[in-house]
Amino acid sequence: MKVTLDIPENKYQFFIELVKSLNFVKVDDSPYNPEFVAKIEKSKKEFKNNEFTRVKQSELQDLLGLE
C-alpha cells in the first residue's frame, strides 16, 4: 500500500524522523526515480569492469544515423 501525504515544509523533518522510528514503514525520500538510479548504478559498474564501448566523436553522427 502506498500513501501520499502533504506535509508542511516546516514540519517535514520532524515527520520523517517520527516515521523512520517505526519499523514497519519504509521511507523513500529520494527525489530520483529508482529505475533511473538503478540504470546509472549499472552503468557505473559496467564502466568499472571495462564493459563498455568507446565511440570517436567523428563516428558519432554515423552511429546515430544523422548523416
pLDDT on residue 41: 94
Per-residue pLDDT of 7-41, as tens digits, reads: 999 999 999 899 889 988 887 777 888 899 999 99
Residues 42-60: tens digit of each pLDDT: 999 999 999 998 888 888 8
Residue 1 has pLDDT above 80, yes or no: no
Q: Give the model's pLDDT for residue 44.
A: 95
pTM: 0.45
b/e per residue, 17-33, with b = 16+ CB within 10 A? eeeeeeeeeeeeeeeee
C-alpha cell of 12?
517535514
DSSP one-letter code for 5? -
Cell match 564493459: residue? 51
Confidence at residue 58, expressed as pLDDT on a 0 to 100 scale: 84
Domain boundaries along the sequence of the chain? 9-63
